[in-house]
Amino acid sequence: IQVEAGKLRLDVTMAELGIDDNEPRLTEVEKRAAVHDLLKARPGVYHPALYETERMKASRPERHSHEPGTFWYYNNWDFNTLGAIYEQRTQTGIYEDLKRLIAGPLEMQDYQVADGEYVTGADSIHRAYPFRMTARDMARFGLLFLRGGQWNGRQIVPASWVKESVTSYSDAGTRGGYGYLWWITRGGLHLPGVTLPEGSYSARGSGGHYILNIPALD
């Protein structure tokens, strides 16, 4: 929504945005990563991040092991930095905008701004952005994407963004592929023990929360 409004651009680099982190700071190579690299989890920045599990910390690639855009790795630094960029460029809080731009138009029954909580810590200057959402509100968000960004005949999220978001840009192994923060079915691979139709995709939250869309079955 904010990209369409001109507040954000996907081709802008970390250097152009003034994005850095605490020591060890980002190198000039790392700062060449663009916003679209963060969305795809391909920026090649392996700085410590907040809200990581011990497994995530242990499996993080070595710093400077991959150049921007060349390697996929599911990394909280990317997502946390996207949050920082969003708030920097729009001059609004993510939780407030989620309420105003998404929860309100979708008539979500439960979500409140207070359901979001910023997480800070010593590992990184970029906060994490977890929030709570009920199953019925999550279902509305899933249905919004299943309907190409429309809700009750109104285009809430640009259709082009929905299409880009659920396109696979990376091989995620047994989990299929990865789009813009969505997991994407590739060759039927997506979830253990099941073959899903092509075009299926999911959002996966902390604690095992899922939104699974299967357009072939509506």
Q: Which residue has the tokens 């995709």?
A: 201
**Predicted local distance difference test score (pLDDT) of residue 47:** 98
Mean pLDDT, the chain, rounded, equals 97
pLDDT at 148 over 90: yes
Q: Please, is 77 exposed, middle or buried when counting C-beta atoms within 10 Å of its C-beta (0-12, 13-18, 19+)?
A: buried
Q: What is the pTM of this model?
A: 0.96
**Predicted local distance difference test score (pLDDT) of residue 206:** 85
**Predicted local distance difference test score (pLDDT) of residue 108:** 98
Residues 72 and 180 sit within 8 Å (Cβ to Cβ): no
Question: Strand, helix or coil at 80?
Answer: helix
The average pLDDT across 92-117 equals: 98
Question: Strand, helix or coil at 116?
Answer: strand
For residue range 153-185, list pLDDT tens digits in order: 999 999 999 999 999 999 999 999 999 999 999
Dihedral class, residue 138 (left if φ above 0, else alpha if ψ from -120 to 50, else beta): alpha
Tokens for 212? 């699974």
Question: Strand, helix or coil at 56?
Answer: helix
